[in-house]
Structure 1
Amino acid sequence: MAGDSAESQMQFSRLDPEKAEIRVLEIQSGDKDSPLECKYHIVDLADLNLTYEALSYAWGTPHTDNDRILKIDNSHVQITSTLLDAIQHLRLPDRNRYMWIDALCINQADGEEKTVQVDMMDRIYSKCEQSVVWLGHLGGVQPSDAEAVFDLLYWMAGEQEEPAWTGDSPRCEFIGKTLKKLMHLPWWYRIWTVQETILPSKATLLWGHLSIDRTTLYKAADIIFDDDCPNIPNELFADNAMNDLTSSMRGLSFSQNERPLQLFVRWRFRHATDPRDKVYGLMGFRKDLSLPTVKSCDYTIDVRTLFKRITADLIRAEGSLLPLVGRRGETSDLARQPEGFPSWVFDWVEPVDPSHKLQEYWKHEACWLSVLGGITRRVSR
Structure 2
Amino acid sequence: MSIEQNTVYSTLLPRHIRLLRLNTNGLDTDIGVFEETELRAASPFYALSHSWSEFAHDTSIQIGGYKHNVSSQLADGIGRLRALASHATSLDPPLNLIWIDSICVNQNCTTERSSQVSLMREIYSGAVRTLIWLGPSIDSSMLGWDLVDRIYQVFRAHYPDLSSPEEIPLRTYSDSFHQASGLPDWTSPSWRALFQLFQLRWFTRIWVVQETVLSPQDPIIVHGDKLYPWHRVEWAASWMRRNGYLRLHQTPSALLHIDNIGYLRRARAKWPLVALMSITQNKFHATDQRDKIYALLGLAAETPREILPDYSLDIKQAYQKVTRYFLEHDGSLSIFTRSHGTNGSLSKRRRKDHFEDFPSWLPNWSDFAVDDSNIRKSFSWLHYSDNKKPVCLGFPEHYVAAGNLSLKVHVTEDSDVLCLDGMRVDKISQITSMSDEKILRSDFDRNFASIIARVCAVATALLIEKKIETWSMQFIQTTAAEQQRLGGRSWMQFFEDGLAYLYQLVLANEKLMATFALYDSEDGHFLQWLKASSENGEPEQYAALARNFCYGRCFFITSAGRMGIGPSDSKVNDTVAIIPGGGVPYIIRPEADDWLFVGESGPGFEVGDGGSTCGADGEENGGQGLGEEHGSLAWGK
- TM-score interval, normalised by the smaller of the two chains: 0.7 to 0.9
Match of 1:181 among 193, 196, 208: 196
Q: Does 1:40 align with 2:34?
A: yes
Deviation by residue 1:168-222 (Cα, 9 ceiling, x = unmatched): 8458732222222222210011111110010111211122222222222232233
Is 1:342 the counterpart of 2:359? The answer is yes
Output aligned runs, 1:57-96, within 5 Å. Answer: 57-63=50-56, 67-91=58-82, 92-94=85-87
**TM-score calculated relative to the size of structure 2:** 0.49
Residue by residue, what CA displacement relative to the aligned partner does 1:114-167 show, whole Å, maximum 9, x if unpaired?
A: 111111011100100010001112234253x1341342254245399x9xxx85
Question: Deviation at 1:72?
Answer: 0.6
How do 1:45-60 residues align onto structure 2 when only pairs under 5 Å count?
45-47=39-41, 50-60=43-53
Aligned counterpart, 2:277 = 264
Q: For 1:220, give the aligned amino acid.
A: A
Deviates more, 1:317-326 or 1:167-176: 167-176
Tell me, yes or no, if the aligned pair for 1:37 and 1:72 is still in contact at 8 Å. yes
Q: Name the amino acid aligned to 2:294.
A: Y
Quote the Cα distance in structure 1 between the aligned partners of 2:183 and 2:237: 23
Q: Deviations over 1:284-328 (max 9, x none)?
A: 122x2376731x111112211111122222333442322213655
Alignment of 1:279 with 2:290, yes or no, is no
What is the match of residue 30 of structure 1?
25
Structure with the larger RCO, 1 or 2 (CA within 8 Å, 6+ apart): 1
Alignment of 1:98 onto 2:97: yes
Report the counterpart of residue 146 of structure 2 in structure 1.
Answer: 148
**CA distance in structure 1 between the partners assigned to 2:95 and 2:371 by the alignment:** 46
SS at structure 2 position matched to 1:138: coil
Task: Summarize the Cα distance change of 1:37–1:361 in structure 2 as closer, same or farther, 3 Å threshold.
Answer: same
2:43 is aligned with what amino acid? Answer: L
Counterparts of 2:133 and 2:111 in 1: how far apart (Å)?
A: 28
Opposite residue 103 of structure 1, the aligned amino acid is: S
Task: Measure the CA separation in 1 of the matches of 2:51 and 2:362.
Answer: 29
Q: Distance in 2 between matches of 1:118 and 1:89?
A: 26
1:204 aligns with 2:220: yes
For 2:228 and 2:116, how far apart are their aligned partners in 1?
A: 29
SS of 1:300 mapped into structure 2: coil
Any stretches of 5+ residues in structure 2 without a counterpart? 88-93, 161-180, 383-393, 405-605, 608-637
Question: Counterparts of 2:112 and 2:314 in 1: how far apart (Å)?
Answer: 17
**For 2:157 and 2:46, how far apart are their aligned partners in 1?**
25
Instruction: Tell me which protein shows more strand as a share of its residues.
Output: 2
Question: Is residue 306 from structure 1 mapped to residue 338 from structure 2 by the alignment?
Answer: no
1:117 aligned counterpart, secondary structure: helix
Report the number of matched residues.
Answer: 352
Partner of 1:137: 136
Counterpart of 2:208 (choices 159, 171, 193) is: 193
2: distance between equivalents of 1:370 and 1:30? Answer: 64
Q: Which has the larger radius of gyration?
A: 2
- Deviation, 1:98, is 1.2
Percent identity over paired residues: 23
In 1, the alpha carbon distance for the partners of 2:316 and 2:183 equals 54
| Deviation (angstroms), 1:12 | 1.3
> Given the superposition, is the C-alpha separation of residues 346 and 159 from structure 1 closer, same or farther in structure 2, using an over 3 Å criterion?
same
Q: Distance between the aligned counterparts of 1:333 and 1:70, measured in 2?
A: 32
Partners of 1:240 and 1:317 lie apart in 2 by 42
Kept in 2, the 8 Å contact 1:156–1:223? The answer is no
Report if aligned partners of 2:213, 2:264 keep a CA contact under 8 Å in 1: no
Give the CA deviation at 1:29: 0.8
Q: After TM superposition, list the pairs within 5 Å mapping 1:191-270 onto structure 2.
A: 191-202=206-217, 203-227=219-243, 239-241=249-251, 244-254=254-264, 257-269=270-282, 270=284
- SS of structure 1 residue aligned to 2:287: coil
Deviates more, 1:318-327 or 1:197-206: 318-327
**Secondary structure, in 3 states, of the residue corresponding to 2:36?**
strand
Whether the aligned pair in 2 keeps the contact of 1:133 and 1:205 (CA below 8 Å) is yes
Structure 1 unaligned regions, length at least 5: 1-6
Letter in 2 for 1:210: K
The two structures, once aligned, show a CA RMSD in angstroms of 3.5
Output one character per residue of 1:323-354: Cα deviation in whole Å (capped at 9) or x when no partner: 213655232465443xx111110111134577
Between the aligned partners of 1:315 and 1:176, the Cα distance in structure 2 is: 44
Report the Cα distance in structure 2 between the residues aligned to 1:303 and 1:128, rounded to whole angstroms.
31
Alignment of 1:340-379 (within 5 A): 340-351=357-368, 358-361=375-378, 369-372=397-400, 375=403
Which amino acid counterpart does residue 260 of structure 2 have in structure 1?
R
C-alpha separation in 1, matches of 2:81 and 2:369: 37
Asked whether the 8 Å contact 2:110–2:312 carries over to 1, the reply is yes
Q: Distance in 2 between matches of 1:369 and 1:208?
A: 48
Distance of 1:259 and 1:63 partners within structure 2 = 35
Alignment partner of 2:332 out of 310, 320, 324: 320
Alignment partner of 1:315: what SS? helix
Work out whether residues 45 and 127 of structure 2, in 8 Å CA contact, stay in contact via their aligned partners in 1: yes
**Partners of 2:189 and 2:373 in 1: CA distance:** 32
What's the CA shift for 1:251? 4.6
**Cα separation, 2, equivalents of 1:354 and 1:51:** 39
Match of 1:4 in 2: none
Offset at residue 375 of structure 1 (A): 4.5
- Check if 1:10 corresponds to 2:7: yes
Residues 1:151 and 1:188: Cα distance change in structure 2 (over 3 Å): same
Q: 1:320–1:357: structure 2 CA closer, same or farther, 3 Å change rule? A: farther
Q: Deviations over 1:34-58 (max 9, x none)?
A: 64521111112121x6211011000
d(CA) in 2 for partners of 1:97, 1:153: 34
Q: Is the 8 A contact 2:148 2:236 kept in 1?
A: no
